[in-house]
Amino acid sequence: MTRTELKVGGLTGQGVMLCGALLGRAATVHAGLEACLIQSLGAEARGSACSAQLILADGPIGNPYVQAPDVLVVLSQSAFDLFIPQLKPGGLVLYESELVNPKDRLPQGARAVGVPATRFAEEAGRRLVLNIVMAGFVAGMTRLLPLAAMEKALLASVPRGTEDLNVRALNKGYQFALSNL
Amino acid sequence: MGMDSFPEAIQLRDFWGLIITPLQAEDSAALQDFYRRMPEEDRQFMRDDVISGDWPAYFQRKLGDQGIVSLVAKADNEVVGEATLYRTLHGWTRHVGELRVSVDPGLRKKGLGTALCSSLVKVATDLGIEKIIVHVVDNQGPARRTFEKLGFKKEAVLPHHVMDISGTKRDLLVLANDVDQIWAAMEVMNQDYAPHLT
């Protein structure tokens, strides 16, 4: 059985939970996988650190906790600094390249790929969808979830009237990932 | 709704074979033919002198610099309705668009105006427009009800602001649709307090 542990970290208001929930929904509802999502929130309403622990597996998930993420997704420098020590040896770091600088803190053997998700989101029409760009980027880089499954999960999740822009943001992140493989 | 989702086929009550499509520069002559078929009284309420000889070139220029976005309804390649969004690309009202719609008199009360406005509101949202306004004269009851069904609300009344073809002055209503509200729900989801996925 394959089990992939992901941790998505950032600041509240960046849509960290929605990013994790979308990946989980795409996996369980549209890609035939099992998923487990645990949220961790800071005390403040906005701007505090938060994270989503997501496990994707092709069989039952016994331990729901992420011990050492295979994939660390970070939307803020503070999340990178906080979670990078937890990364599994040889793991993958996916980061917002205009908000996070891995500097020299990347563990040996780890791979890091950045995406200007905020800029892509602004180009798509709204900065608000940076988490959706990131979700597409994660799906594309990890190849864990097909784009069609992500699109279905997205369309079932986002508010009516926002679908087109969200799908564009998802595709932008996914296509950028494919160009980085 | 992106421009790549057009042409969009629509069906009205008792009328088939209509498409809604973005207006291209080369369509301006067909659009002017449509305006020429409109009653003179209706043309009084239009923003520009749409039957003047200079109008097609002016309209093409505005299309080119993206100051306007226009959708037309066509039946057998003939324009039978149009909805246009006028934008300011700079300054303090760059988030606001003004919507205007015209429908062939023979196709009114069949839902074409609603379909055109609905599509254009989605396009406007996609372009980052956060507030759309429309101007309605106080005796244009059906037009006002159409806009209200689409979420527009009265924001202002300009007394005796327009003069109709008979010289009667009428009140002009400004209705507004705060389309940014659509995105407020997305913002709530991004607050990260356990998003409720439906």
* pLDDT-derived band at A167, boundaries 50, 70, 90: very high
CA triple B44-B73-B107, angle to 5 deg? 65
- Tell me how far apart the alpha carbons of residues B42 and B103 are, in angstroms, rounded to a whole number: 10
Contact yes or no for B190 and A25 at CB 8 A: no
Mean pLDDT of chain A, nearest integer: 92
| Nearest-by-Cβ selection for A159 from B1, B179, B186 | B186
A146: closest CA among A27, A42, A50?
A: A27
Section A155-163 average pLDDT: 86
B4 inside 8 A of chain A by CB? no
DSSP classification of residue A88: P
Q: Inter-axis angle of helices B112-126 and A163-178, to 10 degrees?
A: 40
Q: How many residues does chain B have?
A: 198
Q: How far apart are CA B162 and CA B88, in angstroms?
A: 23
pLDDT in tens, B29-78: 888 899 999 888 888 778 788 888 888 888 888 887 778 889 999 998 88
Average pLDDT over residues B7-14: 78
Which domain, by its residues, includes A66?
A: 3-178
- pLDDT in the model for residue B55: 85
Mean pLDDT, residues A92-106: 93
Please tell me what DSSP assigns to residue B34. H
pLDDT at B196 over 60: no
| Cβ contact, residue pair B194, A15, below 8 Å | no
The number of helix segments (H) and strand segments (E) in chain A equals 6, 6
Distance from CA of B123 to the nearest CA of A (A): 10
Across the interface, whether the CB atoms of A15 and B127 are under 8 A apart is answered no
The CATH number that applies at residue A7 is 3.40.920.10
Which chain A residues are Cβ-neighbours of B5 within 8 angstroms? 164
Token look-up 């645990």 returns A38
Beta-strand (E) ranges in chain A? 3-11, 34-40, 49-57, 71-74, 92-96, 111-115
A141, A142, A169: which is closest to A155 by C-alpha? Answer: A169
Q: Mean pLDDT across the stretch A165-177?
A: 95
B157 in helix, strand or coil? Answer: strand
B126 chain-A contacts, CB cut-off 8 A? 125, 164-165
DSSP for B39-103, please give it. Answer: -HHHHTTSSS-TTSTTHHHHHHHHHHTTSEEEEEEEETTEEEEEEEEEE--SSTTTTEEEEEEEE
Residues B95-108 have a mean pLDDT of: 91
Mapping DSSP to helix (H, G, I), strand (E, B) and coil, where does residue B140 land?
coil
DSSP secondary structure letter of residue A64: -
Long-range contacts made by residues B167-173, C-beta under 8 angstroms, separation at least 24?
B170/B137, B170/B138, B170/B139, B171/B137, B171/B138, B172/B135, B172/B136, B172/B137, B172/B138, B173/B135, B173/B136, B173/B137, B173/B138, B173/B144
Closest chain B residue to the Cα of A161, Cα to Cα: B182
φ/ψ of A88, rounded to 5, equals -65, 140
Identify any residues that bridge with A132 across adjacent strands, giving them in sequence order.
Answer: none
Average pLDDT for B162-186: 85
Calculate the CA A30 to chain-centre distance.
Answer: 17
- State the Cα torsion A151-A157-A159-A161 to the nearest 10°: 20
Q: Is B197 an 8 Å CB contact of chain A?
A: yes
Give me the number of domains chain A comprises.
1
CA angle B165, B99, B140 (to 5 degrees): 40
pLDDT at residue number A124: 83
* Cα B103 from Cα B113, distance rounded (Å): 6
- CB of A36 closer than 8 Å to CB of A49: no
The band of A45, judged by pLDDT with boundaries at 50, 70 and 90, is low
- Tell if the CB–CB gap between A18 and B183 is shorter than 8 Å: no
Q: Does A28 touch chain B (CB under 8 A)?
A: no
Alpha carbon distance A118, A130 (integer Å)? 5
Contacts of residue A166 in chain B, CB cutoff 8 Å? 186
User: Are the C-beta atoms of residues B94 and B101 closer than 8 Å to each other?
Assistant: no
